Amino acid sequence: GIYALLDSGLDRVLYVDIDAHHGDGVQIAFAEDDRVLTVSMHQEDLWPKTGAIDDIAGGMARNLPMPAGMNDDEMRYVLYEYLIPLALSFVPQAIVLQCGCDTLAEDPLSKQLLGNQSIWEVVGAMTKLAPRCLVLGGGGYSPYGVARCWSGVWATINGIEIPAVLPITAENILRVIKWTHSRGRQPDDTMFTTLCDPWRGGTIREDTRERVRRLRGYGV
């Protein structure tokens, strides 16, 4: 996707990765390319255990490793205190948003505690910050969480109101999913009957604030 945008003549592309894992491959691919600024927010110490906060690659990478237990208020803090200001400074011609949802609380492969509302908030904000935006899938290892989150992503992109209660046809699709992952969590009934998680807020930890402050020091 990024190469296609560059091949079309663009020379300012912002790549934002909110997957729980570091976006190492994209960072490596564009480390020396001053047309592409890559940003990865990921859980620290999670595979591939790269993307330290002081890793700026060839100068065009920014990494925000987050401590385990990130909540929706912390995601919102990162969005408004870092991601939006960075985009406004960089003035991208296009944004590519890798929207992995393995940061959801029910996901078995991360230790983050997000609900899908904060992910939708990131999508809604970032898609307004450039004339072109490409939203990509990413990690996500709870089939219920992925289906619900990505339905909301699609609704957000298209300006569709998210219903308070799912129609019975959608509920039935979710209920027939069989998931036997050893680290999976048995979903409660709201995972079948609603699309929108409750806001999973909490304290904005000083550690989170300090990491954002440090990352802002690298500028654009």
Q: Locate the domains of the chain by residue range.
A: 2-216
What Cα–Cα distance (Å) separates residue 174 from each residue in 11, 110, 168, 190, 195? 42, 22, 10, 11, 11
Give CA 100 to chain center in angstroms. 5
CA pair distance 19, 21, nearest whole angstrom? 5
Is residue 28 within 8 Å of 107, Cβ to Cβ?
Answer: no
Which residues neighbour 180 within 8 Å (Cβ) at sequence distance 6 or greater? Answer: none
User: What tokens were used for 177?
Assistant: 């999913």
CA pair distance 172, 162, nearest whole angstrom? 18
Edge-to-edge, what's the strand order for the sheet holding 94-98? 61-66, 36-43, 13-17, 94-98, 133-136
Q: Is 156 helix (H, G, I), strand (E, B) or coil?
A: helix
Chain length of the chain: 220
Could you give the count of Cα atoms lying within 13 Å of 166 in the half-sphere of its Cβ?
Answer: 21
Q: Into which CATH architecture does domain 2-216 fall?
A: 3-Layer(aba) Sandwich (3.40)
Beta-ladder partners of 43: 66
> What is the predicted pLDDT for the residue at 83?
99
User: What tokens were used for 133?
Assistant: 């935006």
| pTM (two decimals) | 0.96
Is residue 39 within 8 Å of 64, Cβ to Cβ?
Answer: yes
pLDDT in tens, the chain (220 residues): 999 999 999 999 999 999 999 999 999 999 999 999 999 999 999 999 999 999 999 999 999 999 999 999 999 999 999 999 999 999 999 999 999 999 999 999 999 999 999 999 999 999 999 999 999 999 999 999 999 999 999 999 999 999 999 999 999 999 999 888 777 777 889 999 999 999 999 999 999 999 999 999 998 7
Give CA 27 to chain center in angstroms. 16
